[in-house]
Structures are given as structure tokens and as C-alpha cells.
Structure 1
Amino acid sequence: MTDEVRRLTGQLTGRRRARAEIPAVDEFPGRVRMYSPVTGPGSPLAPPMRVTPDGDGIVGHCTLGIAHEGPPGYAHGGMSAMLLDELMGWACYAAGSPAMTVFLQMRYRRPVPLETPLRTHARVTGTQDRKIFVAGSISTEDDPSVALVAADGVFVRPDPDPDRARTLFPNTP
């Protein structure tokens, strides 16, 4: 058995990808990031979140578990920020401009319960030069009209040099 473990371990320690190299299992522009800590099915931290377009933006559905706990029975505030940061980035991408967060303001209105189906929503609210303004919220699936957490963010499009932009966002025009 020891020999078998060593053989398998050798397979796991093969070539590592370069830091800027996109994993072969990621799908662009399909937005599937295998190891994303929010949406990645290959991440032990991810809820994972199911993301779909929704009229004026993007909607994500997930249920947070004990690994995401802050106060007993509720999500850690950092997890709420991570969910919204990810979804707001997807909203930029869906609007035609991949972008990175430069400002994220959170408003924690009510605690986010664990083991409860959640609905997250994000939409682009405006643009100015390379800046994209985005709003997002987290609610329960049962009561989507009540925002437990709301966020506003500013995202920035990558450098207009297409070669540098493709390093961060492959397969973009």
C-alpha cells in the first residue's frame, strides 16, 4: 500500500501552473472557475454558488454551512463580502466588461443565517471611463425583497492594452 501511495503522490506533484496561468479546468468565457472560493466546485470552501443571468443583472443561489460561520448560526461577515464581491464581478463580466474590485462598501442590515437557501443579486448601475459601478445584495430565497446585506462597489476594467488584459481575462475580445 505504501508503494501505491508514493506512486499516486508522484502524480500529484507534477508540473505546477504558473501564477498567471489559467487552470485547464476553468471555462472561459463560461465563467466556471474550478477553484474559486465562492463558485468553484473544486474548492472545499465554496458553498458553491449557482449563478445565472437575471434581466438587469446576475443572481446567485447558495446555502452557507458551518464552515462559513461567524456568530453561532450565522455567516461570517467576511463570507458575505466574498459572496457579493464575486457576484458583482460577474455582473461586470455579464455586462461585457471583465473588471477587478477597487472599492467595496458593505452594509450589514441583518445576520445571514446558515443552512438557509440564499439569493444574491448584483447589477451594474453605471460606468465612467474604466470604472464600473455595481450594487449587490444578499437575501433569503423565502424573502428576496428583504436585503440582509447590501453592497456598492467600484470595479475597474483592466489595462486597455489587449495583451495585458488577456493575461487576467483570457478569451475576451
Structure 2
Amino acid sequence: MTTSSDHGTEGSRLDAALDLSAAVRAVLVATSATEADSARLVEATTLARRIEGLLASDLRPLDTVPSIDDLEHGIRYFNPVSGAANPMALPLVFETEGDGILARATFDRRFEGPPGHLHGGIIALVFDEILGQANMTGGGWGMTAYLNSTYRRALPLDVELVLHARVTEIDGRKTTVTGWISTAAEPETRFAEASALFVEPRPEKKAGYFSTLTDSEGRPVEARLGRPDRATAG
């Protein structure tokens, strides 16, 4: 990836946003683990506030999707789990696996719960993301109605994890998805499991959620969200 100071095109702006995110992500990882002395912490704080000042004057409105997003292909670059432009994200990268999908991830100390291990709330967040992605990969779309997670063993940090998900049932607007997490070293051991129900909102409810949402050029985006052929079924 190349960094460009020319933000005249969306391509160059996307590259710049991804580079910024990677740099800030590295800072967040270091911040979560550093034992630097107070003088270096004060210096780092000053630098961080300067960076905020460079960016805070151009924040997008909440009712506008990011200009670099690709809604037609379901790419949300600032997604907190899989968004490559979000410094809090790993980010996850999905690949197909038979009738489902998988993702490989190594969680760092930003996500620590019990010392040396992954926070349970982060596990639930990641399940919501990968199960939802499996729904979309299978041709569906919806919002989470419920998510049930079962934690069988503590998941270690700095170890490659493998996350699996697949659609198990489709009933009109409703899709049930299941998934589990193992380690690359112990692929047959399920450290955590989950099931979720995703429901595509009926047209009137969907309009209530998204009718005022626009892209960076002021165009409505509601029609680009979801699967209209399934929204009225079930």
C-alpha cells in the first residue's frame, strides 16, 4: 500500500485512510502494553492531541456514510471489527469455507480481559460480526435479533485463532447462523460457540432506521441496504 498526500481521488483518500488507521492501530497496541516512564507518556499525549487537532475539524455527520465505504459490496471501512480504516479493528479478513466462512485472527492486548486472555465481551462482538458476515455471504442481510455465546475455554492473546460461521436455516426474513472459535494449533477444540438470529426489517421499519441516511454526495442509501426480495417475506 502506498501513502499519498493527494486526496483528490477516492482511491488516494482510501489509501491514506488505511495507512492512518494502521499507524494509529500500532499506537493503540503500544499504548495498551507500554511501561514507558512518565516523561515519554506526557510527550506521547502531546503528540496524540496534535493528531486529534488535525482531524477533528472535518468530522462527517452521523447521517452520512463514510465516503470511502462501498455499500454495493457490503464494505464498511470503519466497522469496529472488520473495518480496515478503523484503528480499533483487527481487522478481520473473511474467506469462504465450504458452505460457510472463516477468519483468522491474532488478538493483541487491546482486547485483554483476564490477564493474557481475550475479553468475553470482545468474543461476543466478534461472533456478531462473523455470523452476520456469513448471513451476507449467503445472500441475506439483517439485524441481530439475538446472539447466544457459550464460552468453553479461555482464549489466549497473541495466538492465532480460527473463527468459523455458516448459515443453518433461512425462514423468510429470518436467518439462523452458527459459529465457533478454535486455535490454529488445536483446530478440533471449540473454545467458544455461538448461534444468532438475524432479521431483515420490514420496509416500513427499515425506512424508519435509514431513510435519512445519505452518502457523501447527498444521495439516499436506503435502497442499497438489504435484500428487497426477502424483506416482505415471512
After TM superposition, the structure 1 stretch with the greater mean CA deviation from structure 2, 140-149 or 90-99, is: 140-149
Report SS of the residue matched to 2:71.
Answer: coil
Which structure is higher in strand share? 1
Q: 1:10 to 1:146 in 2, by over 3 A?
A: closer
* Runs (5+) with no aligned partner, structure 2: 1-48, 211-220, 229-234
The CA deviation at 1:40 is: 1.3
- The aligned runs of 1:5-154 (5 Å cut-off) are 9=53, 12-14=56-58, 16-17=60-61, 19-154=62-197
Whether contact under 8 Å (1:69, 1:75) holds in the other structure is yes
Report SS of the residue matched to 2:73.
Answer: coil
Deviations 1:120-166 (A, max 9, x none): 011110022311111011111222221111001111013246x8375
The CA deviation at 1:48 is: 1.3
CA distance in 1, matches of 2:88, 2:60: 21
Normalising by structure 2, we get a TM-score of 0.64
Whether contact under 8 Å (2:151, 2:192) holds in the other structure is yes
Larger radius of gyration: 2
Report SS of the residue matched to 2:95.
Answer: strand
Task: Pick 1 or 2: higher relative contact order, CA cutoff 8 A, min separation 6.
Answer: 1
Normalising by structure 1, we get a TM-score of 0.84
Q: 1:159 to 1:32 in 2, by over 3 A?
A: same
Aligned partner letter, 2:87 = P
Whether 2:222 is the aligned partner of 1:167: answer yes
Aligned partner letter, 1:121 = H
CA distance in 2, matches of 1:31, 1:139: 26
Deviations 1:33-84 (A, max 9, x none): 2111111122222121111122211111111000100001100001111111
The CA deviation at 1:98 is: 1.1
Whether contact under 8 Å (2:78, 2:85) holds in the other structure is yes
The CA deviation at 1:168 is: 8.2
Aligned partner letter, 2:189 = V
CA distance in 2, matches of 1:38, 1:96: 21
Percent sequence identity over matched residues?
35
CA distance in 2, matches of 1:76, 1:10: 32
The CA deviation at 1:90 is: 0.5
Report SS of the residue matched to 1:106.
Answer: strand
CA distance in 2, matches of 1:53, 1:20: 32
CA distance in 2, matches of 1:124, 1:172: 16
Aligned partner letter, 2:57 = T
The CA deviation at 1:22 is: 2.2
